[in-house]
C-alpha cells in the first residue's frame, strides 16, 4: 500500500496543475472528519439521501423486484450509516442475499462491519478492502443477480468524463437485467452548494489539509500545513464543485529524496464533486448501457437516488 500511495502522490505532485488523489482522504483521521462533515448543518447531501432511504427503501425493493438469490455490491461504502436503512428494509422481505461493501479505507470498512454486526446480525456480509477499479473486475466472478450501489454522490468524484468509463466498465461486467442504484447530487442554488463545501466550523478545510498530514506521517514528507489554504469553488454551468489547497508562499516540500517546488498562490487540485441535472442523468444512463427504472428524490429535490437497469 505504501508503495502505491507514494507512487500516486509523487505522480500527482509532478503533474501540472499539481493534484492529490481524493481516494487517499480516508485514513482513520480522514474517515472520522468525513463523519463529522456528514453531520454539519451545511452538508445537505447526507441528510437528503438519508431521507430518501428512510422513506423510499420499500419502493426501491419493489422496483428492483428480485426473483431469486442476489448480491448487493456497494462501491465506496464508507461508514454505511445510510445504506443500513436500505438493507434493513430489504431484510424485511428476504435474507436470501449477500452484501459486499467495497472500500479502499480499511478504517471505514472496519467501522461499517462492526456497526452492521451489532445492528443487523442477520445480514450476510462479504467486506472487500480494495479500490473501485480493481473491484469492478470481481463483479464478473459469479452469475448471481446484482444490485450495485454507488451512493453518497461518489459518482461525482471522477475527473473529466471518468464516470462514463467507470459506468461502461460496470455495465460490461454485469448482466442484462442487473440493477444499479446511484446517488446523484442535483444542480441547485449555487450558494447552497458553496456552503456545503465551505462550512463555518472549518471541518471541510481540516478534511482537505488532513491529506497533507497523512503524507507527512506515512511518507515522511514535510508539508508545512499552516502555509496552505483551503479554496472551494462552484461553477453553476458545468456543475463542478472543486476544492483546491493553495500554497500561501514560495516553498519546497520534500518526500524522501524528492523535492517539490510550490510557487506563491499555486493550487493543488484536491477533489471534484459534480452536480447533475435530471437531463444529465438520463443522458449518462443512455450512454452507458442502462435504462432508468425510477428516480427517488428527497422533499427538497436536492438529491436523487436513481435506479437503473442494465440493458
Ligand atoms: C464521500 S465518502 C461516501 C461514503 C458513502 N458512499 C456514503 O454515501 O456515505 C467516499 C467513500 O468512498 C471511498 N473511496 C473513495 N475512492 C475510492 C476508490 N477509488 N476505491 C474504493 N473506495 C473509494 C472512501 O474511502 C470513502 O469511504
How does DSSP assign 177-216, residue by residue?
T-EEEEEEEBP--HHHHHHHTS-TT-HHHHHHHHHHHHHH
The CA 259 to ligand 1 mean position distance, Å, reads 30
Distance from the Cα of residue 217 to its chain's centroid: 24
Residue 138: its pLDDT value, please? 82
Taking the CA of residue 132 as reference, the ligand 1 atom at the shortest distance is: 20
Whose Cα sits closest to atom 27 in ligand 1? 78
Give the helix/strand (H/E) hosting 310.
strand 303-310
Atom of ligand 1 minimally distant from the CA of 105: 25
Smallest CA separation from ligand 1 atom 23, residue? 76
Rounded to whole angstroms, the Cα distance separating 209 from 245 reads 8
Q: Which residues of the chain have pLDDT under 70?
A: 1
Distances (CA, A) of 24 to 7, 55, 75, 105, 178: 12, 33, 15, 8, 30
d(CA 31, ligand 1 centre) in Å: 9
Counting ligand 1 atoms within 8 A of each CB, the residue from 54, 80, 104 with the most, and so the one to mutate, is 104
**With contact defined as beta carbons under 8 Å apart, do 128 and 135 qualify?**
yes
- Pocket residue to mutate for ligand 1, from 29, 76, 150, most atoms within 8 A of Cβ: 76
Q: What is the pLDDT of residue 233?
A: 98
Distance 37 CA to ligand 1 centre (A): 14
Name the residue with the closest Cα to ligand 1, atom 4: 78
The pLDDT, as a whole number, for residue 132 is: 86
Tell the residue nearest (CA) to atom 14 of ligand 1: 76
| 71/273 Cα distance (integer angstroms) | 28
Q: Which of 5, 46, 78 to mutate to test the pocket of ligand 1 (most atoms within 8 A of CB)?
A: 78
Distance 249 CA to ligand 1 centre (A): 32
For residue 1, the model assigns a pLDDT of 61
CA–centroid distance, residue 74 to ligand 1 (Å): 10
- CA gap 277, 3 in Å, rounded: 39
Atom 26 of ligand 1, residue of closest alpha carbon: 78
**Residue nearest atom 16 in ligand 1 by C-alpha distance:** 23
Angle at which helices 106-119 and 28-39 pack, to 10 degrees?
60
Q: The whole model's pTM is what?
A: 0.95
Cβ–Cβ < 8 Å for 228, 245:
yes
pLDDT at position 134, please? 87
| Ligand 1, pocket-test mutation among 1, 103, 112, most atoms within 8 A of CB | 103
What pLDDT is recorded for position 242?
Answer: 98
Nearest to 34 by CA among 273, 278, 307: 273
Residue ranges around ligand 1 (CB below 6 Å): 23, 26, 34, 76-78, 82, 102-105, 108, 131-132, 151-152, 154
Give the per-residue pLDDT at 136: 86
Region of 256 please: left (phi>0), alpha (psi -120 to 50) or beta.
Answer: left
Q: Give the distance (Å) from ligand 1 centre to CA of residue 79.
A: 9
| 191-225: pLDDT as tens digits | 999 999 999 999 999 999 999 999 999 999 999 99
Domains of the chain: 2-41+190-274 (no CATH), 44-186+276-310 (3.40.50.150)
- Rounded to the nearest 5 degrees, what angle is found at the Cα of 165, between the Cα atoms of 162 and 168? 145
Amino acid at each position: 500500500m505504501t508503495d502505491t500511495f507514494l507512487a500516486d502522490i509523487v505522480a500527482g505532485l509532478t503533474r501540472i496543475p499539481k493534484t492529490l488523489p481524493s481516494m487517499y482522504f480516508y485514513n482513520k483521521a480522514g474517515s472520522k472528519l468525513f463523519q463529522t462533515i456528514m453531520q454539519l448543518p451545511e452538508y445537505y447531501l447526507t441528510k437528503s439521501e438519508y431521507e430518501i432511504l428512510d422513506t423510499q427503501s420499500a419502493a426501491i425493493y419493489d422496483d428492483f423486484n428480485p426473483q431469486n438469490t442476489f448480491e448487493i455490491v456497494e462501491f465506496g461504502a464508507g461508514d454505511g450509516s445510510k445504506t443500513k436503512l436500505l438493507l434493513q428494509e430489504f431484510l424485511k422481505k428476504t435474507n436470501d442475499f449477500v452484501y459486499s461493501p467495497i472500500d479502499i479505507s480499511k478504517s471505514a470498512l472496519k467501522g461499517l462491519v462492526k456497526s452492521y454486526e451489532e445492528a443487523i446480525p442477520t445480514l450476510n456480509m462479504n467486506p472487500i478492502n480494495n479500490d473501485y477499479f480493481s473491484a469492478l473486475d470481481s463483479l464478473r466472478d459469479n452469475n448471481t443477480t446484482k444490485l450495485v450501489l454507488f451512493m453518497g454522490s461518489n459518482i461525482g468524484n471522477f475527473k473529466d468524463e471518468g464516470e462514463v468509463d467507470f459506468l461502461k466498465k460496470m455495465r460490461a461486467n454485469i448482466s442484462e437485467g442487473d440493477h444499479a442504484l446511484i446517488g446523484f447530487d442535483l444542480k441547485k442554488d449555487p450558494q447552497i452548494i458553496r456552503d456545503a463545501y465551505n462550512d463555518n466550523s472549518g471541518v471541510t478545510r481540516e478534511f482537505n489539509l488532513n491529506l497533507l498530514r497523512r503524507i507527512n506521517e506515512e511518507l515522511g514528507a514535510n508539508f508545512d500545513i499552516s502555509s496552505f489554504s483551503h479554496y472551494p469553488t462552484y461553477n453553476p454551468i458545468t456543475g463542478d464543485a472543486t476544492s483546491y489547497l493553495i500554497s500561501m508562499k514560495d516553498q519546497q516540500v520534500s518526500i524522501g529524496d524528492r523535492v517539490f517546488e510550490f510557487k506563491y498562490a499555486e493550487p493543488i487540485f484536491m477533489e471534484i464533486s459534480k452536480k447533475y441535472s435530471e437531463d444529465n442523468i438520463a443522458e449518462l444512463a443512455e450512454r452507458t448501457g442502462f435504462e432508468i427504472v425510477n428516480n427517488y428524490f428527497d422533499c427538497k429535490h436536492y438529491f436523487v437516488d436513481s435506479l437503473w437497469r442494465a440493458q
